[in-house]
Structure 1
């Protein structure tokens, strides 16, 4: 993706005043030529980065959202109170719901530990107060970035593309080991697949492939290089990173020898020919 187009999308996201689910609809309608999943991935990155910057300010102690919430419930106003509040303070609904639920448990003198809060978010029928339970449920249901539903979707998509990668390799008779097998051999940081026999793509030797079911921008890519890709290169040599939902053009550099970046499984592959390797005679 060209830099100008990327920053136009980011600008649209930052200027949007509603919830992320509504912003997603706007992006898909406005940028018809851009892959839908690339747009959703860019949106997810922006929401996450904004929360890292603003979380402590939005949820500071001076903002008594719980008191405001309870007073609104008692006033008899219509449903969707927390959703409207999340829109007003520009916070993910499930994140606000977690904050409210934790304070509610504190007020009731009950256990408000993270595991307990997470359990109640996953099953709101366990919350005795039906008005609060319903408001929490709406937040979890409507949030496409945070909360148990969003987490499950992200996990499923990641696994789907790992399976997709393995299917491509099997269809082309390329032997490999997955990360589960590599971990049994004592590797703590492993790529999604380690090729048993190297291949070549566009003149680059490939020993491993990492599947990323997301869009790759500068920050994301820099983080992965530091935390993952360099370790793979040190242990297994050069490899391939696939950002299935696209990446910024600036990430791909001809001088990079440790790994190459693509947004699809390579179509042109050069296979090793064992017959071309001459036996050494001692």
Structure 2
């Protein structure tokens, strides 16, 4: 009997995005107890110990823990440059171009952070902006061997550096675009950040609804996209820096952590100001839109709604005032 071929990955279970407190703590303990580079720690988490967890969630947790550790040890790092430069000068003829990578692993430092401290010590007379330029363009370093070492550190560091910064920025833009596409597919009419800034708003969510809708009985006026993992600490920070002002100005809304969140994040008391936490775009069957009486629409209103980028309506208030609500109907 012939067998139907199975495509690679066809039977794989979807990776988990929402983590319990215990599992999240175990991941953090592994990261903080790992001896070596963050890129190697991430590889171990993904491929050996937490295979069923969303890989990007693990990436974000590593980033958060390493960042917290770096900040707590910042006062020590300013004093380590002289020692690092001395070790490098003593051993640079004993190893190939991997010396700085080895040193970063031994010192439990991000490779780019180690390079920054070493270069600051080596070029004391230069301004900090010059050091940043050398890290962006290591070929400008006058020592070819050191330049090769720094280049390798930049490539091998998944926490800092120009390559990492570019990757994170592109990922953030990619998921903002995903949010807009899913909103359009669901039939949501909205203003994006560019529309809102043209209207004079400074702090703006990724999309602001022209007409609010209901999600499981809660009114939604805006949606914020985060290509990140929503642990409780990061979520509280986002509330202070962004979400609270959105709620004050526009009313209740949704924040989407595309790579998942800590199970306690949605139930934090801080969310009571009108914040709903999700790990994906709301399911279509959970959305309820306002149906407007078509016979009472002004002739120009549909075109205004479709072409939200013109900014000719201020956040939809005139539309709501002119077009009485007929009923709320659930999407099929």
**TM-score, scaled to structure 2:** 0.79
1:67 aligned to 2:82?
no
State the SS of the aligned residue for 1:77: coil
Contact 2:111/2:154 (8 A) holds in 1: yes
How far did 1:272 drift?
Answer: 1.1
1:58–1:89 Cα contact (<8 Å) kept: no
Deviation sequence 1:31-56 (CA, Å, 0-9, x none): 01100111111111101111111122
Question: Which of the numbers 172, 182, 204 marks the counterpart of 1:190?
Answer: 204
SS class of match (2:31): helix
Q: For residues 61 and 16 of structure 1, what CA distance do their matches in structure 2 show?
A: 21
Mapped to 2, the partners of 1:70 and 1:27 lie a distance apart of 35
Superposition pairs for residues 6-45 of structure 1, below 5 Å? 6-29=24-47, 30-45=49-64
Which whole-Å CA distance do the structure 2 matches of 1:26 and 1:215 have between them?
Answer: 19
> Among 190, 199, 222, which residue is 1:208 paired with?
222
Q: Which residue of 2 aligns with 1:2?
A: 20
C-alpha displacement of 1:121 = 1.4
Greater Rg, structure 1 or structure 2?
2
Q: Report the counterpart of residue 260 of structure 1 in structure 2.
A: 276
Question: Distance in 2 between the 1:190 and 1:6 partners?
Answer: 31
Q: State the superposition RMSD in angstroms.
A: 1.7
Tell me, yes or no, if structure 1 residue 101 matches structure 2 residue 116: no
How far apart, in 2, do the equivalents of 1:70 and 1:181 lie? 55
Equivalent of 1:246 in 260, 283, 302: 260
Please state whether the residue corresponding to 1:273 is helix, strand or coil. strand
Are the aligned partners of 2:213 and 2:287 in contact in 1 as well (CA < 8 Å)?
yes
Corresponding residue number in structure 1 for 2:311: none
Partners of 2:65 and 2:81 lie apart in 1 by 26
Structure 2 CA distance for partners of 1:154 and 1:197, relative to 1, 3 Å: same
Aligned pairs, number: 273
**Residue 189 of structure 2 is aligned with which of 162, 170, 175?**
175
**Other structure's SS at 1:69 match:** helix
Tell me which moved more, 58-67 or 122-131. 58-67
Aligned equivalents of 2:81 and 2:115: distance in 1?
A: 17
SS at match of 1:144: coil
CA distance change for structure 1 residues 269 and 149 in 2, over 3 Å: closer, same or farther? same
Aligned partner of 1:137 in structure 2 is 151
Tell whether the 8 Å contact from 1:240 to 1:259 is kept in structure 2 after alignment: yes
What is the CA distance between 1:254 and its match in structure 2?
Answer: 8.6
How far apart, CA to CA, are the structure 2 residues paired with 1:84 and 1:62? 16
> Structure 1: which 4+ aligned runs deviate by more than 3 Å?
none
Q: 1:91 aligns with which of 73, 93, 109?
A: 109
Unaligned runs of 5+ in 2: 1-18, 294-323, 327-332
Alpha-carbon shift at residue 97 of structure 1 (Å)? 0.9
Matched, 1:157 2:171: yes
3-state DSSP class of the match of 1:66? helix
Task: List runs of 5+ in structure 1 lacking aligned partners.
Answer: none
Paired residues of 2:247 and 2:273 also in contact (CA < 8 A): no
In 2, the alpha carbon distance for the partners of 1:248 and 1:80 equals: 37
Q: TM-score, normalised by structure 1?
A: 0.92
Once the two structures are TM-superposed, the CA of residue 186 in structure 1 deviates from its matched residue by 1.7
CA contact (8 A) 2:223 2:253 kept: yes
1:112 match: 127
Report the Cα distance in structure 2 between the residues aligned to 1:185 and 1:81, rounded to whole angstroms. 53
